[in-house]
Chain A
Amino acid sequence: MAQVLRRRGRIQVKVDKREREALIGIIDSLSPRLAAPLASAPRAYDDAKLQAEYDRWVRPDIEKGREADLTMVRDALSGGEDTLPLTEAQTLAWLRAFNHLRVAAGEILGIEGDGWEDTATEATKQKPEYGILIALGYLQEELVAALDS
């Protein structure tokens, strides 16, 4: 399993070839879904007019940022290295990218409430998106711990 280490103030992700390929596969499979508006895409305003302005002027930058985060992670994983050093800014980008991917996976699974880990059926647990939620959740926890240490 991939490891996240903090050494001399630098964060390092140790990830072997098989894991890198799996992560790239996750990004490639869920990116198209992220490009379309997610049903769970967060709103900013209750007011329809203010929300329309937000969607016009603010949301495009958020979407560009999300694409940049995903590209950064994908490029790092495509470099052929087992050890990937990350700055704090890059670590935050990885965290954001993983969160977007997890939200997309959760939407595919139809998760709507807390406690889904305890109530998931065996059929749900067999779905690739369930594995994505668990694996990326593990990596997020590791990255958060590395930033906190």
Chain B
Amino acid sequence: MATTSAPTPTKAPAPAKAPGREERDQREFGWNVMVWNDPITLMSYVVLVLRKLFGYDHATATRLMLQVHNEGRAVVATQPREQAEVSVAQLHSFGLQATLGRP
């Protein structure tokens, strides 16, 4: 016996899920500012630049510089995208290799 199924009620397509707060925060605020190793720039200069631009104390700036030197790169700040882009531009103006990106 054939069965007839009741017509499926027409449903409006579900709206795209609004991004959750965590996702929004990640997108807007979670941009990593990365400094990359280069063979020319002096270690002492990198420490100075990190102190001047990000306000780090000497020990923190030195630790980050050594991470750049030993591992090839280091995240030196995590900021909203616009601020991260400004930070990268400042690093570029000092001649450092720097990028920004999502974690």
User: Which residues of chain A are near B76, meaning CB under 8 Å?
Assistant: none
A42 CA to B41 CA, complexed, in Å: 13
Please tell me which one of the listed residues B36, B41, B48, B52 contacts residue A103 in the complex, with CB atoms under 8 A apart.
B41
Q: B79 at the A/B interface (Cβ < 8 Å)?
A: no
Please tell me which one of the listed residues B42, B44, B92 contacts residue A62 in the complex, with CB atoms under 8 A apart.
B92
Q: Which of B47, B95, B96, B101 has the most CB of A within 10 A?
A: B95
Known: A58-B85, A141-B42. A66 touches B93 (CB 8 A): yes
User: Which residues of chain B are near A61, meaning CB under 8 Å?
Assistant: 89
Interface size on A, residues (CB 8 A): 35
A44 adjacent to B98 (CB under 8 Å):
yes
Known: A44-B92, A62-B89. A137 touches B42 (CB 8 A): yes
A1 CA to B97 CA, complexed, in Å: 30
User: Which residues of chain B are near A111, meaning CB under 8 Å?
Assistant: 39-40
User: Which residues of chain B are near A137, meaning CB under 8 Å?
Assistant: 42
| Binary contact track B87-103/A, C-beta < 8 Å → 1, others 0 | 01101111111111100
Q: B25 at the A/B interface (Cβ < 8 Å)?
A: no
User: Which residues of chain A are near B93, meaning CB under 8 Å?
Assistant: 62, 65-66, 96
List residues of chain A with CB under 8 Å of any chain B CB. Answer: 40, 42-46, 54, 58-59, 61-62, 65-66, 92, 95-96, 99-100, 102-103, 106, 111-116, 133, 137, 140-141, 144-145, 147-148
